[in-house]
Amino acid sequence: MKRFRSDGGGEDNSKKLAEYQKSEGILKETTTPYTLQFNGVVERVNRTIMERVRCMLDDAELSKKYWAFAVSVAVYLKNRTPTRSVVGMTPYEAWHGSRKKQSMKNLRVFRCLAFVNVPEEKLKKLDYRATPGIFVGYSIWTKQYFVYDPLGKTLHCSRDVVIREGKRYKAPNTADEAILTKHFYRDVIEEHKPNSTEKQPSKRQTEDSVDDESPPKPKKQSRELAGLESSLGDAWKPPAEGHHGNRGGKLAESAQLALEDEEFDDMIPISAAAAISDDHEDGINNPKSYKAATESPLSEKWDTVMKQELDAIGQYRVFGEFVELPEGRKALPSHRVYKIKRDGAGDVQRFKARLVCGGHHQIEGIDDQATYAPTARLGHVRLALAISAKYNFEIHQMDVCTAFLGVDLQKEIHMHPPQGYYRLVQTARLTKSSRKMVLHLRKSFYGLKQPLRVWYGTFKDFVISNGFEALRVDGGLFVLHNKDQDIVVAVVVLYVDDLLIIANEGLIGQIKDQMKKRFRIHDLGSVSFYLGMNIECNREHHTIDIHEHIYIRTIFVKFRMDESRPVTTPIEMKLHKRKPDEEACDPPIYQSMIGCLMYAMTATLPDMAYAIAVLSRYNHDPSNEHTVALKRVFRYLNGTKDWRLPFGGALEGESVLRCYVDSHYAGCPDDYNSTSTLVITFTGAVNWRSRKQKSTAQSTTDAE
């Protein structure tokens, strides 16, 4: 590029762009605003493209709302067509600096019939194996096609597409399907659509009052789809209800587009981020809002837990009276976090609806003060498990109910009442004046910045008064010593409000009884699932095994790597920073994959520490080479997913604390810094780390 010409708009005058143009020797030219004659070449190209678009839409017999797809295809073909501007190559080849001829085998007729394969993970027994649609374009980043499904109003981006260029898409006969639904499938599928004149049943109406209708299907929306909603704005719409099979479902690389709003009749976004489903296999998922909870088939259960939460808050007298907001102060917002608690096998245990306030709106010095509170590190949790395996201790788990409630606040704080407060609390009445009132918080509450510190201080004082000592290196670990024998007889691990109590059978009962007298505690008995880790104890052989099989299967399905071919090593190549001419990949997806693997690695997978540490260096700007290396880690994990991290069962001489260290001298090709790794063992690996050194070592001895 030699010249960059614009009309002087603000979007073209950034400092960063000017520095880039200066460094590359690009001459910047500014034309007179609102004078199209000075941009003759650009305007002529726009005219050429729009003429092609009109012809394509007319030949395809499509409405104007598909203009964006036609523009994308027209530009795609123009960049791969010879031109007099460059000799002997196409604009695409000239731009990418390649003399290799561009393959044209992927070109297809615009608007022809296309079938998108549906992954097996998204299929049920009677679902269609493919979704028919209209071929509308090509992906410029990957070797995939864009196919639009008019029935499901869904844009699919997929590699597994079968295209019939001689045929065109025809909408199915919905009248025939309606007859089948009415007479044959009434009790099998849920496709009843009431007429506009019919009275809609209220959301509190039970199944008994509707004899011939199935309950409404719950609306599900993942975090990634919520991100699409925020990026597309009003052009976003959830999948339409009522159409059969998989056409209304969510595919891993599809974006839902709304076409019915009048103001968007002439516009369809042609690109969106990939959506990855995080739904559970049983179809029971966490509601994202109060409305979703009250409209779901489990609304009665959610109402019950919301009332129980408000009752518990009332017992601690957290809320004061409704008051007018003092001048110069701001009331904190409130919302609920809905969570379905599951066991190690993924089965539902109980429902929770935590009411929290927006503590992130607190202002330091006005309604905020010291907030830091320690929690147990995963390495020390594993060390406690190793101690239990060596001394054959029992391990019990306890959950403190409403841990953050009941402690007096030192600052005056106000909060808006949550949704449904007047409906759930029968003593409260909604009036015009009460709409402007706010709740005065008397005591600590979830979401504030202070309660975690206050709760930790309360718990610490309690256990210390019972003879425990807090470790200096980890404030979330408390130990009880037998001073006569100078041995550890009990360990208490605190992670926020989740407790692990490790002791012999007689002492563990005494500790639990003391805690139940002081706190409201849910006794979960012998531990089997803690902080995402499955814990399997064998007291006969003095061994403990931990693993994350359920979590690993979840992330494999999430990123569609469950059928990948296993390899024997997690990483094998030296990776470099992405070069300017290298093709970039999608950073959010790359970062999400790294984050999921990192959580598994920090808990139970020390063999992946080095690979994850290296790949994490490129989170900000990953290339396709980095993505291939990251997928290799998934392939390695696919071959080792059934492995477990063992503790105990060692010989007497091996039951000592050992530390193994090593370094990779000048292992980073970008800055030649070395990488340090360590593993600490005590009847098993209890801690590990792999980290790039901040300074450049001059020798292998210096790197060590």
309-342 pLDDT per residue, tens: 888 777 777 777 778 777 777 788 887 888 887 7
Question: Both 586 and 517 in a single domain?
Answer: no
Q: Are 304 and 296 in contact (CB under 8 A)?
A: no
* 474 and 593 share one domain: no
Are 567 and 654 part of one and the same domain?
A: yes
Q: Which range has the worst mean pLDDT, 367-371, 450-454, 593-597? A: 367-371
Give the highest mean pLDDT range of 47-51, 59-63, 229-233, 265-269: 47-51
Q: Which of 531, 556, 571 is the last residue of a domain?
A: 531
The verdict on residue 218 lying in a domain is: no
Q: What is the mean pLDDT of residues 35-50?
A: 75
Tell me the whole-structure pTM to 2 decimals.
0.52
User: Which pLDDT score is estimated for 122?
Assistant: 78
| Assigned domain for 246 exists | no
Residue range 586-595: mean pLDDT, rounded: 90
Q: Tens of pLDDT along 453-492? A: 778 888 899 999 999 998 888 888 999 988 887 788 899 9
**Do 506 and 394 lie in a common domain?**
yes
Q: Which residues pair with 545 in a beta bridge?
A: 536, 646
Residues 443 and 295 reside in one and the same domain: yes
Instruction: State whether 576 and 454 are in the same domain.
Output: no
In a domain, 272, yes or no: no
264 pLDDT exceeds 50?
A: no
More confident residue, 640 or 333: 640
Q: Is pLDDT larger for residue 600 or for residue 428?
A: 600
Shared-domain flag, residues 510 and 613: no
Is residue 511 located within the same domain as residue 559? Answer: no
Whether the pLDDT of residue 235 is over 60: the answer is no
Number of domains in the chain: 3
**pLDDT of res. 282:** 58
Lowest mean pLDDT among 1-10, 237-246, 418-427: 237-246
Judged against a pLDDT cut of 70, whether residue 274 lies above it is answered with no
**DSSP per-residue string spanning 75-87:** HHHHTTS-BTTBS
How high is the pLDDT of residue 111?
A: 83
Question: Is 249 part of any domain?
Answer: no
**Which pair of structure tokens corresponds to residue 576?**
């470099």
pLDDT of res. 1: 77
Q: What pLDDT score does 252 carry?
A: 32
Tens of pLDDT, residues 610-632: 999 999 988 888 888 899 999 99
* 40 inside domain: no
294 plus 340 within the same structural domain: yes
pLDDT at position 693 is 87
Tell me: pLDDT of 227 over 60: no
Determine, yes or no, domain membership for 694.
yes
Pairing label, strands 408-415, 394-400: unpaired
Q: Which of 146-160, 175-189, 519-533, 593-607 has the lowest mean pLDDT?
A: 175-189
Which residue segment(s) compose the domain that 15 sits in? 1-34
Pull the structure tokens for residue 55: 């012809």
- pLDDT for position 222: 45
Distance CA 78, CA 94 (A): 13
DSSP per residue, 547-600: E-HHHHHHHHHHTT-TTPPP-S-S--S---PPPTTSPB--HHHHHHHHHHHHHH
Percentage, residues of the chain above pLDDT 70:
77
**In this structure, are 592 and 687 located in the same domain?**
yes
Beta strands in 123-168 (DSSP E): 130-138, 145-149, 154-158, 161-168
76 domain residue, yes or no: no
Asked if pLDDT for residue 204 goes beyond 50, the answer is no
Task: Pick the last residue of a domain from 531, 565, 587.
Answer: 531
Q: Which of 538, 516, 527 shows the shortest CA–CA distance to 493?
A: 527
C-alpha to C-alpha distance for 252 and 275, rounded to whole angstroms: 5
391-401 tens-digit pLDDT: 889 999 998 88
Q: Two tokens at 92?
A: 């695409």
Asked whether 669 and 574 are in contact (CB, 8 A), the reply is: yes
Task: Report how far residue 679's alpha carbon sits from residue 684's, in angstroms, rounded to the nearest whole number.
Answer: 10
Whose structure tokens read 């509707």? 210
Q: What tokens does 459 get?
A: 């718990």
Residue 477 and residue 562 in one domain: no
Average per-residue pLDDT in the chain? 76
Do residues 420 and 521 share a domain? yes
In a domain, 131, yes or no: no
* More confident: 194 or 604: 604
Q: Average of pLDDT values for 164-175?
A: 72
Stretch 558-564: mean pLDDT, rounded? 88
φ/ψ of 146, rounded to 5, equals -100, 125
* Lowest-pLDDT choice from 147-151, 262-266, 449-453: 262-266
